[in-house]
Amino acid sequence: MRAAMRSLLRFATFSLFLAASAPLTALAAPPSKPPQKPPTQTAGKEPMSDSQAVLILALLGGAALVGGVVFLVKRMGGGSSAGKGDGRPPEPILPERKYDWELLLSPDQENALLRGVQAYRDGGHSLYLNHSDALITFYDPRMLVSVHRLTEVFLAAGAAAVADPVTAVKGILDGFVASEGPGVLHLRTGWYDAPIDGLDYRKFSDLCYDALTRPQPYLEGSQGSSADENSGSMTLNLQVGGPMNTVCVDLRRLLPATRQGRQAQPGAALIDLVRPVLQAMCKGEMPGAMWTRGSASDAEKDLIVRMVATSAQRTA
């Protein structure tokens, strides 16, 4: 759609240029017949010349064309924003029918669920749904929501949710905003309230991300990862003998234990203080992490413990 709108605007601009240049071309061209003696003028306003009339009509026509295209662009969504401020129109959230959370739903149920999520987004909540990771990222308020959890609650609501998905999904997501629980992780901007070892929030986030995602040597089972230093969150996708599961970590809740570690071991490398905290959070022994499937298998816990234990910090 954005490409189509750009094409329309380019066409309108080009048309206006042609319209404006047409009378100039006519003035420069040789006359088609010998010049005639001008008629006798009476006193008063001088009549408009043909070239002036053509120029005015061309400018008016070009302006009308541009105005019409701008109106069409706005009607097509060019004036709206996706998720409050990125300047792009929101795209429809459509079923893909290939991930296991989708296949728990009938086509009608999935269509209804995603229609409810889209309505919630378009109603003023900034979010992004990732089908493959089964994760919804909310930007205002900041939180991560497991699509597995959303699907579970939606199915439990029965036929009423399918009949009125906008109301049903709004109620579910409003509940997630109000209270953290299984499959819901609340985040916060301004999470890095005091520096550790002189690092700013970006450098500290990078260090924690390395601790989670850079085992040396590489270990099989990792299927991608992400980090957002603004909300202090990290994700790691794991697949160990079964479907993919994603762990989500809130760095705000990693900070207190890391500070305690620094007080107890003033000479230790910071990454060595982060490692045991990350391992405990991912194993469910400390608050601040959640798995998109609700919990982790023993194999997943073992893998993440080994990954964190052998991780290496980037030097560049």
If you average pLDDT over each of 1-5, 64-68, 237-241, which comes out highest?
237-241
Mean pLDDT check: name the lowest of 63-77, 89-103, 114-128.
63-77
Report the pLDDT averaged over residues 14-32: 41
**Interacting residues of 29 by C-beta distance below 8 A, sequence separation 6+:** none
* Alpha carbon distance 145, 141 (integer Å): 12
Task: Tell whether the model's pLDDT for residue 57 goes beyond 80.
Answer: no
**Interacting residues of 203 by C-beta distance below 8 A, sequence separation 6+:** none
Task: Tell whether the model's pLDDT for residue 5 goes beyond 70.
Answer: no
Question: What is the structure's pLDDT at 267?
Answer: 96
Mean pLDDT check: name the lowest of 69-73, 205-209, 242-246.
69-73
Question: What is the structure's pLDDT at 87?
Answer: 61
How does pLDDT run across 259-289, given as a tens digit for each residue? 999 999 999 999 999 999 999 999 999 999 9
Amino acid at 127: L
Query: Got the DSSP string for 244-304?
Result: -EEEEEEGGGTHHHHHHHHHH-TTS-HHHHHHHHHHHHHTTSSSSEEETTSS--HHHHHHH
Question: What is the structure's pLDDT at 41?
Answer: 37
3-state secondary structure of 19: helix
Q: What is the pTM of this model?
A: 0.72
Task: Tell whether the model's pLDDT for residue 231 goes beyond 90.
Answer: yes
Complete edge-to-edge strand list for the sheet that includes strand 184-186? 126-130, 135-140, 142-146, 184-186
Q: Is 246 exposed, middle or buried, given 0-12, 13-18 or 19+ CB atoms closer than 10 A?
A: buried
How does pLDDT run across 34-52, given as a tens digit for each residue? 333 333 333 333 444 554 5
Task: Tell whether the model's pLDDT for residue 84 goes beyond 50.
Answer: no
Question: What is the structure's pLDDT at 86?
Answer: 54
Mean pLDDT check: name the lowest of 9-13, 154-158, 218-222.
9-13
* Interstrand relation of 233-238 and 245-250 (parallel, antiparallel or unpaired): antiparallel
Mean pLDDT check: name the lowest of 63-77, 92-106, 168-182, 229-243.
63-77
